[in-house]
Structures are given as structure tokens and as C-alpha cells.
Amino acid sequence: MRMKRREFLTAGAGAAAWWALPAWAGAASAGARPRQGAGDRGYRTSWYPFTGHPDADTCWSVSVGPDGRIYAAACAESVPGGVVKVVRYNEQKDGLDYLFSLDEMVDDPGDSGRATQCKIHYSFAPSMADGVLYMATHLSGPPIDQPAYSPWLSWHDAKRCFRGSALLAFDTRTDKVLWWDTLMPKEGCRCLLHDEERHRLYALSYPRDHFIIYDTRTRTRRDVGRIGSINAQTLFLDRRHRVWTTDDYGHLVRYDPETDRLERSPFVLPHNPLFQTGWHSVFYDVAAAPDGECVYAVTWIAQPRLMRMWPSRGDWPKVEDLGPATQDRDPTLPKDTFIDHCGGLVFAGDGQLYYVASRWRDPVYNPMPADGPEREGVVWRLNPANLKREEVAILKHPTQPAQYVSRGAVDHNGNLFFGNVGTRPVGVFKVHLPASRRRRNAHLPIRMWG
């Protein structure tokens, strides 16, 4: 059965009251059993559903905070009036702490009649000097008395229009929201980055795809201009304080503070030439290698492409095509990017890149056993030295496939966490690395973007 993510979510909204099942509360060890042929053994996984926020239907953000702990967004975007709650993994109790409901922090309640503060979408960004975790909200959740929301339709409707992306400065030392501001009126924040040395936050707006700069000292914003129609899903920073992303056609785009200008690469990022042109090959996720010299990226299109690049080398960086992240398929079928997906790129303390790529049953290209899952989320480990990839675990959700992972993060103990998007209950997976691969403060140098 083909099922789109939004249909999936909608169906989930009226589903059984899963949160009433006590067995699922807290950490539910899913005991991942790597498929035959997997490399290392001992990658155990645990599952933490968002039991404290029954409306939650997606988890778009998982990041490590400046304190080395894991923060996640329990988003509620398919529920009329739904709001996001910020959670943190509590290693003492091996469960999730619910820190706050974001609408209450920014005086924009879910029953306002406007589109709601429903999610945080790749928009956690740490500040190491003061222990602050910045976060910015995104839109899509309908007003409480509507079944859906369109920012295009309601742009000029003061009663319905999203108030704007709320930017919060959360002090991880005191667990207090220090201040908040509207990062971008009427629009949501697709992704956020912090250049701590320059005291600047960078963001992409949705739906207009504008590049926004926010000065954390003066708390003022500036709109640099529009990039295109499809948001890239991430921004990254290089050593020269340039901010990188992509445009609709798979070109690198960078903002250079020296020129105060958005520049576009003439080259198209790797894609499958059989059925793609580079269109929609926007970045989905980017992780910097621990040495800071290169980054690894994956695109947001069916059969997402892995690549690495060295942003400081050359006028435009050398981009190395690491090939598709997911399986082959029928090229006459525009595959659903909810099913065909790769995300959660994160470097662990062992210096290896981990990510989660989907796998699904296909009668021709991947005839998985009929008695097994229809889809699954596979945790891969990629060795940067030889580019060898090994499957190390499968994310086990109690009731459904977990092929879609939004983001991954490594905590100060060296374990990995992945955000799950699917049917409720959604939540966070923890992948316990083998002891030999864990390292204290594995989250450093910290990722500065969501």
C-alpha cells in the first residue's frame, strides 16, 4: 500500500490511543538485530516515544546541546491547534524530560485561531560560550478550527496567518528561556545555524525561501534575499565564516560575509542522471568531519545522494560523489521521499560517519521477505578513510517501520540519537555504540547547525 507521509499522519491522528499502553512508556529496548552480514555486533537500540505529548506526530529536530545532552522537538503538525514541546534525554532515568510547551513561552497559544507554533524543523543551534541552545519554530500546523493550513493562502489574513517563527534562547544551565523574538514574521524557519564568533544566526524562511541573518547582540534581523522555491533543509558553516546551502537546481549557494552576497556555484551536485536533472537536489543533511576540513552531505530527493566536499579548497569546492544512499528502483515511478530517504548524518567518537537510510520491499530491486517489515530504517557506518559502508543496526519501532529519520546527534557519552518521523507514536531512537567506539565528549567539536 502506498501511503504519503501527510496521509500517514492524518490517519494517525484518529488512531488508537497508543499513549495509554504502559509498556511503551520510557525506554523500550528494541534490541536491534543487525541483518546478516552486518559488520560490528553490539549496536543496541532503544526507543523513546513522546508519551508526554500525545499530539506529537513528527520529530524534526534532534541535536546535542552545549551541555552535551540531547534535545529533541516533539512536533504536532497534523493536529489542529497542535504545538511543539521541547524534550531532553535524561540519562539518569533513561527517559525523556519535557522541558516546555513552546507556545506558552512565546505567548502564541495553540488555540489562537492562527497557524500554530507546531514544530522546530532542523533549527536547534548551540552557543558554547554561554550554554544557550537557540531554537526557532517552523509552520504547517493548522489553526485549531481548520483541518489544514496554507501559508500562501493565509499570508494576508491577519486572523489565520502564522505569527512568525519564534526564536528562543534557552539556557541549558538553568533550564530557563532567557528571551525570545520573532525571527521572521509570517514565515517558518526551515533550518538554523549559529556563527558564534560573529554573533549571528542564519536561517532559511519558508515558504518564500529567503536567507535571513539575525544578530544575537542587537537582536535584529536582515533579509538578504530569496534563493528559490524549495528550501534546502540545512545550512553549514566553513572556517571563513561563509554559510553554505543549495538552490532548487542542485547548485551550491554560499553567503560570504565579506561580500554580503549570496553566490551560486555553476556546478550541479551529484544526482542520478537516469531520472534526475539536479532539480530538487537540495541538501537534506550535512555533517562536518571532526577535522573540520570537509563535510558530508545528503540530498533531499528520492534516491538521496551522498557526497563530501571541501568548502575551503578552490573557488568552488571539490565535490566527491559517494553514490546513492538508498536502493535502486523503477525509474518510471517518482518515488515518495518519505519512503526513499536518508538523514541523521552524525560523526561519532570513533571518527566514523553514521546515518540512517531507508530500505523497502520491492519485487524487482529488493525482494525483502514477505513475513518481514515492508520498510525499515537502516543505520549505516561509513569509514571516511576508505569510504567503506557497513550496516550496523536497524531502528525498531514497536508498531511500524521507522525508515524516516530526520536528524541524528551524538551525546557527551558517545551514543547516537535519531529523530523519527512516521505514524504516531513518534519519538527518538538511541543507538548504543559498542564501548570500544564510544568516547567522552564525542559531541565536540559541536555541530553549529540544526
Partner 1 sequence: MSNKQKTKYDMNSPEAKALTDEIVHGTFMKEGTMAAFPTCFPGASIPIPADESHITALDISGDGMVYGGTSGRAVHLFVGMFHGVTGIVFDLGMPAGANHCAAVCCAGSRVVSCVNGPGGGRVVATGHQGLPFDLIQEWGFGRPAIDDWGKVDGERIVHAVADSTRAMVVGITTRSLFVADPGKGKAEVIGEVPGQGRIAPGSKGGIFGKDEGDWLWRYDSAARKLARQALKLPTGAWDSAPLCWARDTRTGLLYTADGGGNLFSLDEERGFSAPLGKTLPAPVGPMAVTYDGRVFGFCGPEMAKMFCYNPAARTVTNLGVAVSVLERRRYGYVFGDAVVGRDGQIFFGEDDDLGHLWLYFPKILPR
Sites of contact with partner 1 (CB under 8 A): 10, 13-14, 80-81, 109, 111-113, 142-150, 152-153, 155-156, 186, 207-208, 225-229, 247-248, 261-262, 264, 266, 279
Nearer to partner 1, 187 or 391 (CB): 187
Which residue number, 113 or 131, has a Cβ lying nearer to partner 1? 113
d(CA 64, CA 50): 18
In sequence order, what are the beta bridge partners of 211?
Answer: 204, 225
Smaller CB separation from partner 1, 112 or 399: 112
Nearer to partner 1, 90 or 229 (CB): 229
- Show Cβ contacts of residue 137 under 8 Å, excluding neighbours closer than 6 positions: 84, 102, 106, 117, 118, 119, 120, 123, 165, 166, 188, 189
Least distance from partner 1 to the Cβ atom of residue 411, Å:
36
Residues 6+ apart with CB under 8 A from 303: 272, 276, 324, 325, 326, 328, 329, 335, 340
**Shorter beta-carbon distance to partner 1: residue 266 or 369:** 266
Q: How far apart are CA 225 and CA 127, in angstroms?
A: 26
Tell me how far, at minimum, the Cβ of 76 lies from partner 1, in Å. Answer: 12
Least separation in angstroms between residue 227's CB and partner 1 is 7
Report the alpha-carbon distance of residue 139 to residue 127 in Å, rounded.
24
The length of the chain in residues reads 450
What is the nearest approach in angstroms of partner 1 to the Cβ of residue 262?
Answer: 7
Min dist. Cβ of residue 161 to partner 1 (A) = 10
Min dist CB 391 to partner 1, Å, is: 35
Q: Where are the alpha helices (DSSP H) in 345-445?
A: none
Q: How many CB atoms lie within 10 A of CB 157?
A: 10
By C-beta, is 33 or 264 nearer to partner 1? 264
CA–CA gap between residue 339 and residue 303 (Å, rounded)? 10
CB of 169 to partner 1, least distance (A): 24
Among candidate residues 231, 270, 438, 238, the one with its CA nearest the CA of residue 354: 438
| Grid coordinates given for 11 | 490517519
* Residue 260 or 321 with smaller CB distance to partner 1: 260
